[in-house]
Amino acid sequence: MGQNIFTNPFKPGAGHMPPYLAGRNSEKDEFVKLIQQKVILENLVLTGLRGVGKTVLLETFKPLAQTNNWRWIGTDLSESTSISEESVALRLITDLSVIASDIVFKKKVVSSMGFGKQTKIVEQKLNYDVLSNLFNSIQGLIADKLKAVLEIVWACMQQEGKFRGVIFAYDEAQTMSDHPQKEQYPLSLILNVFQSIQRKDIPFMLILTGLPTLFPKLVEARTFAERMFRVLFLNRLNKDNSRDAIVKPIEKEDCPVKLSDESLDLIIEVSGGYPYFIQFICKEVYDVFVQQHGCGEPVGVPINEITRKLDNDFFAGRWAKVTDRQRQLLYIIANLPDSDDKEFTVQEVVDKAKKLEISFSSSHVNQMLSTLASKGLIYKNSYGKYSFAVPLLAQFIKRQPKDYLQ
């Protein structure tokens, strides 16, 4: 090793930028096309399973937008944001104030002087207090108030003459929901507001990132959402891109140990091509490699030990939240052909259950799939078919003890 100390470059944290972003050039090209729109006809939904790199890719879009004179607003959404229409409106105003606080707003103020009136122009910066006061002073529905604020901000931005538009980028957007029982429609409000201001040629673009449940939820809230968004579904990396994600970071570092082709193939197979799993496995592998190399031990990939650690860190918490009966259903699904990749129907689950001699009716499967979807383990697409919402969950299930089948 000499005097150089190898620093493990792999970062398996949630949303952490990998040392090398592999296999996402086509998605970047699609985004560049979107920000070249003169009139915003399409917004963006970026979706895929957990661990596929949605948050990381969203972060790489930001500098692309900024170099094209777009201003960028970005944050994570939470269920509390969609409690009410007013809460989501204040979320948007709060985020907008971050980029608008250096923009001047000229306001007419009328004051009484003796028996006459005098009008003067007062200049204010569009910080949160000013935007919030504007919002509260406008009459009408919350949607109308929010539209008016956005229009005022854009009018002021145009006077500055430096901006192409504003991108509102929200991660974890699948947490947003309407609440008809409370007569609150925050998700519909966002869609209505952006559709309305874009019809007025105001270049405010919406990017929503989330799990595959996101787009069906948008269409359910407002059917026009199907025409309002371009959907990019992030898939796992292919073998070549997976190899790049593993090899290229090490090429940049002074690593004393290199992976053999057999080790590379093993990591690609176990990770399934999912960027998070590649980062997780490679971090563990190179931590062990450096230790073994320094001790003069034979170098190998302890894949069984790493798989157990991955099971414990990534899957076990989710598995602990399901009942034995739900585990039975998940076991049946896991044993469908290619269940980690292919969609499945209720009837396919019922037929498989019969072959495995486990009793499930169609109505029972429907009900339980809905419950598992609420727990983030299953999702239903717009065509009524289901898929695992967690990557490689089927393989994890097959590795677990089957005491719940007794």
70-76 β-sheet, strand order: 70-76, 165-171, 204-210, 43-47, 229-233
Is CATH 1.10.10.10 the classification given to domain 323-405?
yes
Contacts (Cβ under 8 Å, ≥6 apart) of 134: 148, 149, 152
| pLDDT single digits (tens) 283-297 | 988 887 777 665 545
How high is the pLDDT of residue 253?
63
How high is the pLDDT of residue 80?
77
Is CATH 3.30.450.20 the classification given to domain 25-98+141-233?
no
Rg (CA), the chain: 26
Tell me whether strands 104-113 and 116-125 are parallel, antiparallel or unpaired. antiparallel
How high is the pLDDT of residue 2?
47
What are the domain boundaries of the chain? 25-98+141-233, 239-317, 323-405
User: Contact, 93 vs 150, CB < 8 A?
Assistant: no
* Average pLDDT per 10 consecutive residues for the chain, totaling 406 residues: 67 84 94 94 94 93 94 86 90 92 72 58 83 92 95 88 89 91 94 96 96 90 94 94 92 73 90 93 84 58 88 92 95 92 92 93 94 89 84 93 87
How high is the pLDDT of residue 381?
76
